Structure 1
Amino acid sequence: MVRKLELEIRDYINASRRQFQIMGNKANWNKLCSALDLVGDTELAIEEYPNLCSTRSDGASYLLVYGILQTLLLQQDAAKHIADALGLKNIKRPMQLDEIRIIRNSAAGHPTSQKENGAHKSCFISRFSLSAVSFKMVTSFSNSSEPKFTTVSIPSLLEIQGKYIAELLEQVVDEIKKQEMEHRLMHKDNKLEDSFPQTLSYHLGKIYEATYTRQSFALGKVNLTTVSQVLESFKNALESRSEWGIYDSVNFHYEQLEYPLQQLDLYFDGESTFNEKDAYIFASFVEKQFDELIEIAKDIDKEYESEC
């Protein structure tokens, strides 16, 4: 379940708009990527742990116990950091995970010197009780002559960890789904395709016509201005969704259009060395780029109409 949720979160943050937004804060992006990797890496370690539990060596058992306790803490911190990096401050670490942190700190984090209720305490794992799957922890207090004995079952800790890490990650998935749906609902009725009026082909046709006769250059200039305004309208529509600059395909076609539109503008001003055939080829290229942008707009509109 943890692995599935990790992949779901990756899918959401790698969507163009969200990735673009998060990468605006490089520190947060790096934190998020590191935390997702760590959740996945620690889950691999947790899944492998049962296959290593046949050892009867005290040394190997210590390595396993120290290692798995540290792994659980790393995973808890990483899961919370995913929420933090996404700005989901309302998502807290489940309280049920606190006991695991206490056990880890006492047995494998800071066993020799801690404080509890104002008293100093020191902890150690009883070697006679130690196995790869359980141990007894002895805790001595500065204000008491009686030690405390705690039996720890690693499989029980793993069960608790799996349940509540999944719960935390599910909250993250639910929240980013909710945010995505709110964004789509806000914009889905404003079709990007509508940025390209039905009269676009008419204006492009007039540009074609104007390339052949100098007397039509003024008309060509007017229609070229209209076509450029259509392009600007599409850009504004994307900006209203915080999506300008995030689609590589859109960026590509805008870059492809810049030069031919400039050259046609010069041509209709009578300031170009191109002949009418050159201008016609430029006009044909412009029309092709617009066709591609319209198809991209349709695809984005379909995405906005769909469920997350």
Structure 2
Amino acid sequence: MNDKARILHWLSGCSKSLADLRKKFETSEFQSAIERQLPLDEKKRDQTISQTWHRSCAAMDVLEDGHSGIEYYSTTIPDSRGPLYVLIYGILQITYVQQDALKCLRDAVGLPTHLSLPPIRETRNDFIGHPTNRKGSRGALFISRPSLSKSQFQGVELFDDGPIFHDVALLNQLSEHLEWVCMQVSEIAERVGQTRMSPLSQV
């Protein structure tokens, strides 16, 4: 299966997983799962529940909106360099905020948030997030304009003693991201189902 086919496969899987998780929001299962993570006598418990619920609703919208953006990316053929740049910058930012949204939802239902994140996150940070000011021993980075395509590009990292070239297989990284999203959404939905069957947290 090539990268494009894998993306379509995982897009379909994510659509089903997101629809299942959305139902848990609409039936209050997710909100109940939030409540069950907090001790009954915690100070400002109601306020904490409300804030966590609002963040979770925003995170769910980010996941669904980002999914729509990835679907558009997978089917659109840009007709010039400008739209291509918008697509590349957009898809890298979408994956970044989706990953943050999933960490937010995991935290809301009591799952660990220290995760091994897909490599597309570092690609985003390198080439559109902080290309001129990467921390540590990194040089200044940019995307080589002649190499730019929807499926891949070459990144250039500048140092005093010469450049280093990075070949970025963007479609491959995107398919890995989608697979990761599907796994996370399924785990969160499963966690919500488990908490529904358990008693409220006690101190």
User: TM-score per shorter chain, which class?
Assistant: 0.7 to 0.9
Q: 1:37 to 1:133 in 2, by over 3 A?
A: same
Q: 1:122 to 1:157 in 2, by over 3 A?
A: same
CA contact (8 A) 1:66 1:108 kept: yes
The answer to whether residue 94 in structure 2 is matched with residue 82 in structure 1 is no
Written as runs of structure 1 = structure 2, the 5 A alignment for 1:8-157 is: 8-16=20-28, 19=31, 22=34, 24=46, 25-52=49-76, 54-88=77-111, 90-93=112-115, 95-97=116-118, 99-116=119-136, 119-141=137-159, 145-157=161-173
Name structure 2 gaps, 5 residues minimum: 1-12, 36-45
> Among residues 147, 157, 178, which one is paired with 2:194 in the alignment?
178
Helix, strand or coil at the partner of 1:114 = coil
Helix, strand or coil at the partner of 1:149 = strand
Q: With structure 2 as the length reference, what TM-score do the two structures score?
A: 0.77
CA contact (8 A) 2:33 2:196 kept: no
Larger relative contact order (C-alpha < 8 A, sep ≥ 6)? 2
Q: With structure 1 as the length reference, what TM-score do the two structures score?
A: 0.53
**Greater helix share, 1 or 2?**
1
Helix, strand or coil at the partner of 1:115 = coil
CA RMSD of aligned residues (A): 2.3
Q: 1:96 to 1:31 in 2, by over 3 A?
A: closer
Q: 1:16 to 1:137 in 2, by over 3 A?
A: closer
Name structure 1 gaps, 5 residues minimum: 184-240, 243-308
> What is the CA–CA distance in structure 2 between the aligned matches of 1:21 and 1:45, rounded to whole Å?
29
CA contact (8 A) 1:32 1:86 kept: no
> What is the CA–CA distance in structure 1 between the aligned matches of 2:85 and 2:29, rounded to whole Å?
47
Q: 1:20 to 1:115 in 2, by over 3 A?
A: closer
Instruction: State the shift of 1:57 in Å.
Output: 1.5
> Would you say how many aligned residue pairs link Structure 1 and Structure 2?
177
Give the structure with higher Rg (CA): 1
Helix, strand or coil at the partner of 1:150 = strand
1:165 corresponds to which letter in structure 2?
V
> What is the CA–CA distance in structure 2 between the aligned matches of 1:71 and 1:61, rounded to whole Å?
15
Instruction: State the shift of 1:33 in Å.
Output: 0.4
Other-structure match for 1:295: none
Instruction: State the shift of 1:44 in Å.
Output: 0.5
77-86 or 28-37, larger mean C-alpha shift: 77-86
Other-structure match for 1:263: none
> What is the CA–CA distance in structure 2 between the aligned matches of 1:15 and 1:51, rounded to whole Å?
33
CA contact (8 A) 1:91 1:172 kept: no
CA contact (8 A) 1:38 1:75 kept: yes
Identity across matched positions, percent: 32
Other-structure match for 1:246: none
Instruction: State the shift of 1:85 in Å.
Output: 2.1
28-37 or 132-141, larger mean C-alpha shift: 132-141
Instruction: State the shift of 1:15 in Å.
Output: 3.3
